[in-house]
Amino acid sequence: MKVSNIRQQQFQEPLFEFSGACAGCGETPYVKLVSQLFGDRALVANATGCSSIYGGNLPTTPWTKNAEGRGPAWSNSLFEDNAEFGFGFRLAIDKQIDQASELVQALAGDIGDDLVQDILNSEQKDEADIYDQRERVEALKKKLRSLRTDDDRKKRQIESLLSLADMLVKKSVWIIGGDGWAYDIGFGGLDHVLASGRDVNVLVLDTEVYSNTGGQTSKATPRGAVAKFSAGGKPAAKKDLSLIAMTYGNVYVARVAMGAKDEHTLKAFLEAEAYPGPSLIIAYSHCIAHGIDMATAMQNQKAAVDSGQWLLYRYHPEREEAGENPLQLDSRRPKIPVQEYMYMENRFKMLRKSHPEEAKRLLKEAQNDVNTRFKFYQYLAARKMGDEE
Ligand SMILES: Cc1ncc(C[n+]2csc(CCOP(=O)(O)OP(=O)(O)O)c2C)c(N)n1
């Protein structure tokens, strides 16, 4: 199966199903995609918010396992420390990989050199590679169970390695939450984790409000939108979280909208996961709080992109290493005025009724934001690397 082709990829079994989210939720398709692509080896750290509520309606859970009994490990931490929580997963896994590798080397004489070398040198670059590593680890465990010794120290080493061996198969750490978590309350921790350089994948389900508590303004709320605490329309522009992350240079950053370009979304998830450092995906997620028809909400996503309100791009640090510009602008020049997108949604429309003059002023500013942003990103993406100017 060519997983980078959306038509083939959609045959992958989801390990996230029957959630309690609103019908037509804009967040769940991204969560489902993570579960399809990496679910049998993923660990999910979920910030409190809609995704932790529909994702952890205990005692039931929409997270499930495949026929081999493998599925994602999932846990929910606080709204204010989820990035750190997921970072802890990474540190713990890396420590266990180190311990397992040391034990494999210590027991090399009993295990057999070929298997030891194959296990320790496996790159696990893609799913086929990972499948091979799983087979090797199964062979390792079988071998360990068959070993007989009177040496107590060796016995302990064998027991330890049996309990750690599964860590030698590549794991995928996903730190997931909403914009209230990522842009506001958990931002300090998120920034810290991105700056660490460690291999984690952050998925921000950007509904542009605190959805789970009824739609309060966050720093992700766009200018001119009505939300709780912004009854007169949000006066300030949306914070550019991806730009902040790009300044590190070694963070993979993507901005996606499934309803606008599904294959682009898929590509970004695959690239983010394969990149061995921190990755940040900001995913446009429509929401009932927007005052839209949830049955056709993918069209709102498309209009957001067509108007330039939501830019699609990918910043890949490895392109820079190859002498290329790391930023690839995947959006075309805006082809509809931002007004056409905004007035598809009650969150913008209602301001015209309640504060018509202010609505006019904010609309003008919103169009100005779009124009400036597009030019700015076009400039960044057009830079030739190594230029003096
Ligand atoms: C420190 C703290 N403050 C407030 C809350 C209450 N709370 C729970 S979920 C949530 C909103 C989450 O919004 P967001 O991160 O945007 O995720 P969404 O619900 O939109 O997916 C809030 C304010 C909390 N759990 N912890």
In order, the DSSP letters of 147-200 are ---S-HHHHHHHHHHHHHGGGGS--EEEEEEEHIIIIIITHHHHHHHHHT--S-
pLDDT band at 105 (very low <50, low <70, confident <90, very high): very high
Q: What is the pLDDT of residue 314?
A: 98
pLDDT band at 275 (very low <50, low <70, confident <90, very high): very high
The closest-lying atom of ligand 1 relative to the alpha carbon of residue 179 is 16
Using the mean position of ligand 1's atoms as its centre, give its distance from the Cα of residue 251 in Å.
Answer: 25
Mean pLDDT of the chain: 96
Q: What is the pLDDT of residue 57?
A: 86
Q: What percent of the chain has pLDDT over 70?
A: 99
Question: Please, are residues 304 and 224 in contact by the beta-carbon 8 Å criterion?
Answer: no
Name the helix (H) or strand (E) containing 4.
none
Q: What is the pLDDT of residue 232?
A: 96
Q: What is the DSSP letter of 344?
A: T
From the CB of residue 58, how many other CB atoms can be counted at a distance below 10 Å?
6
Strand 209-210, strand 216-217: pairing: antiparallel
Answering whether pTM is above 0.75, one says yes
Please check the confidence at residue 150 and state whether its pLDDT lies above 80. Answer: yes
Q: What is the pLDDT of residue 255?
A: 98
Residue minimizing CA distance to atom 23 of ligand 1:
213
Q: What is the pLDDT of residue 385?
A: 79
Instruction: State pLDDT tens for residues 284-340.
Output: 999 999 999 999 999 999 999 999 999 999 999 999 989 999 999 999 999 999 999
- Tell me how far apart the alpha carbons of residues 370 and 303 are, in angstroms, rounded to a whole number: 13
Ligand 1 within 6 A of 31 CB?
Answer: no
Q: What is the pLDDT of residue 356?
A: 97
Q: What is the pLDDT of residue 1?
A: 87
Q: What is the pLDDT of residue 387?
A: 59
Instruction: State pLDDT tens for residues 23-34.
Output: 999 999 999 999
Instruction: State pLDDT tens for residues 223-274.
Output: 999 999 999 999 999 999 999 999 999 999 999 999 999 999 999 999 999 9
313 forms beta bridges with 255, 329
- We find that the CATH architecture of domain 81-88+199-382 is 3-Layer(aba) Sandwich (3.40)
Angle at which helix 262-274 crosses helix 28-38, to 10 degrees, equals 50
Long-range contacts of 10-17 (CB under 8 A, 24+ apart): 10/36, 12/36, 12/37, 13/66, 14/39, 15/39, 15/40, 15/63, 15/64, 15/65, 15/66, 15/71, 15/72, 16/55, 16/62, 16/63, 16/64, 16/72, 17/62, 17/64
Q: Which of 22, 31, 46, 48 to mutate to test the pocket of ligand 1 (most atoms within 8 A of CB)?
A: 48
pLDDT band at 365 (very low <50, low <70, confident <90, very high): very high
